[in-house]
């Protein structure tokens, strides 16, 4: 799906004033996180279906890549930074960088206002955007606040649609996120745990809703067909994650134990006749797969490396293709859990965040979820044996829950795009509603 798809149409208009609805999307897109990219793809496909003549602009992290991939307009979340002079003294460098940032902010606010001229909607689609774990700037709370306030000053509808929240550490992050949410016309979260996270941070919207993650709405005809070979060895898709920073766990010892546990599980699985297909969910996870393979080489036991497949994953499409070749999945990243469910692959979650726990609970898979902080190889093996035994009933359950999620998302999109009626547009979803 990383290549330009026929669904990503050119938006050029020849002659006259363009009367088509103008929709802006905001998010951390184009930076190599396949969960985020699949979220963008899901909302784009739905906009094309509901508002086929919409002019779409994405406010994102890597606008050049997003524009080239999806054939839409794209602008940077922050104005292009000027080349900064280097200073040997870190204190001087810190002071000057922050002084320059402050001095440029009025211009950036003005530029945001100018960009949003004539906008009908600003949609913040999905992803775990409501966090300050990666700082306040970039795609963090400050610029989210800036763009939502600018949109409201322009008289634009602002909708947070199936967003995820947490962790939120600092008072500034809480204030900025609360401010952005307060001015929104529509708010929904992808799970109850995100809503609870915001309540604990001091924000509680009475009309807020919980709807499934937007990726459940990817068109079924875009998902690869099952490619599990018949007659061969069964395959486990093993999703590896580079665990670091404040978003998940803090201790490097936890990450090392995680890799050790994965290495032991691989050895056990190979010994039982399973092949392993390594998966990532972000380009940064390549480091983790390399470290895992190095760890396996350090161990004295030998194995046939042809049974440990590590094909390059460079896009949502290639990730789904790899996953389609597996019988079951044991994964860490949130959207790798979701992709497994979409492809009807019984899945175990090595949870690093409350969103993973919530998703597994929503899908009736709580007994196959355990925290990355406490998971050991014996527990994982026991969980896997139960998964293997109950595989067929789990596939039936996941299909039922996935269908329900798709119906819920249809309902949500009807609510979100009703806002366009105010400006005289009639979205296709409203034409389909009973009279």
pLDDT tens digits, 335-370 = 999 999 999 999 999 999 999 999 999 999 999 999
How far is CA 435 from each of CA 52, 423, 430, 431, rounded to the nearest angstrom? 22, 21, 9, 9
% of the chain beyond a pLDDT of 70: 85
Instruction: Please tell me whether residues 248 and 190 are part of one structural domain.
Output: no
What pLDDT shows up at residue 106?
86
**Statement: residue 391 has pLDDT above 90:** yes
The answer to the question of residue 1 being in a domain is: no
The answer to the question of residue 5 being in a domain is: no
Instruction: Please tell me whether residues 175 and 133 are part of one structural domain.
Output: yes
Question: Average pLDDT over the chain, rounded to whole?
Answer: 89
For 341, list phi and psi in degrees, rounded to 5.
-65, -45
Q: Strand pairing partners for 24?
A: 57, 122
Instruction: Please tell me whether residues 214 and 230 are part of one structural domain.
Output: no
What pLDDT shows up at residue 226?
87
Q: Domain of residue 237: give its range.
A: 223-389
Q: In what order do the strands lie in the sheet with 22-27?
A: 73-76, 55-60, 22-27, 121-125, 157-163, 186-189, 209-210
Instruction: Please tell me whether residues 179 and 250 are part of one structural domain.
Output: no
pLDDT band at 318 (very low <50, low <70, confident <90, very high): very high
Instruction: Please tell me whether residues 273 and 261 are part of one structural domain.
Output: yes
**Statement: residue 4 has pLDDT above 90:** no
Q: What is the pLDDT of residues 264-294, one digit of tens each?
A: 999 999 999 999 999 999 999 999 999 999 9
Q: Are 352 and 360 in contact (CB under 8 A)?
A: no
**Statement: residue 430 has pLDDT above 70:** no
Half-sphere exposure of 184 (CA within 13 A, CB side): 29
Instruction: Please tell me whether residues 262 and 345 are part of one structural domain.
Output: yes
Classify the phi-psi angles of 319: left when phi > 0, otherwise alpha if psi is within -120 to 50, otherwise beta. alpha
**Statement: residue 28 has pLDDT above 60:** yes
Instruction: Please tell me whether residues 128 and 232 are part of one structural domain.
Output: no
Over residues 1-20, the mean pLDDT reads 47
Burial classification of residue 429, based on how many CB atoms lie within 10 Å of its CB (0-12 exposed, 13-18 middle, 19 or more buried)? buried
Over residues 397-410, the mean pLDDT reads 98
% of the chain beyond a pLDDT of 90: 74
Instruction: Please tell me whether residues 191 and 305 are part of one structural domain.
Output: no
**Statement: residue 7 has pLDDT above 70:** no
């Amino acid at each position: 799906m990383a290549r330009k798809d026929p669904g990503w149409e050119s938006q050029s208009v020849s002659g006259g004033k363009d009367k088509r609805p103008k929709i802006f999307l905001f998010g951390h897109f184009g930076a190599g996180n396949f969960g985020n990219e699949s979220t963008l793809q899901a909302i784009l496909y739905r906009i094309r279906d509901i508002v086929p003549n919409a002019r779409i602009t994405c406010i994102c992290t890597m606008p050049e890549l997003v524009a080239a991939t999806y054939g839409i307009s794209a602008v940077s979340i922050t104005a292009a930074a000027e080349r900064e002079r280097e200073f040997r003294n870190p204190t001087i460098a810190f002071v000057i960088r922050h002084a320059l940032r402050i001095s440029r902010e009025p211009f950036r606010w003005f530029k945001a206002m100018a960009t949003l001229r004539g906008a009908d909607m600003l949609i913040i689609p999905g992803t775990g955007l409501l966090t300050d774990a990666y700082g306040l700037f970039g795609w963090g709370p400050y610029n989210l606040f800036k763009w939502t306030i600018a949109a409201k000053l322009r008289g634009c509808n602002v909708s947070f649609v199936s967003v995820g929240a947490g962790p939120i550490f600092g008072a500034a992050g809480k204030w900025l996120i609360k401010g952005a949410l307060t001015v929104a016309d529509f708010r929904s979260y992808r799970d109850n745990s995100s809503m609870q996270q915001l309540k604990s941070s001091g924000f509680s919207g009475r009309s807020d809703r919980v709807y499934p993650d937007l990726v459940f709405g990817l068109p079924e005809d875009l998902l690869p067909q099952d490619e599990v070979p018949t007659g061969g060895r069964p395959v486990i898709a093993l999703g590896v994650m580079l665990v670091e920073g404040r978003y998940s766990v803090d201790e490097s010892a936890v990450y090392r134990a995680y890799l050790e546990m994965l290495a032991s599980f691989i050895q056990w699985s190979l010994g039982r006749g399973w092949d392993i297909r390594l998966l990532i969910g972000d380009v940064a996870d390549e480091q983790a797969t390399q470290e895992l393979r190095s760890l396996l080489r350090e161990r004295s036991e030998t194995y046939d490396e042809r049974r440990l497949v590590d094909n390059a994953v460079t896009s949502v499409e290639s990730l789904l293709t790899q996953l389609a070749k597996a019988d079951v999945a044991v994964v860490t990243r949130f959207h790798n859990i979701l992709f497994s469910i979409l492809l009807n692959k019984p899945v175990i979650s090595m949870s690093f965040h409350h969103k993973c726990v919530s998703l597994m609970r929503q899908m009736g898979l709580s007994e196959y979820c355990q925290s990355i902080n406490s998971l050991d190889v014996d527990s994982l093996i026991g969980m896997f044996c139960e998964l293997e035994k109950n595989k067929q009933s789990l596939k039936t359950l996941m299909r039922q829950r996935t269908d329900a999620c798709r119906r819920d998302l249809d309902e949500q999109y009807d609510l979100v795009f009703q806002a366009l009626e105010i400006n005289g547009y009639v979205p296709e979803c409203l034409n389909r509603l009973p009279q």
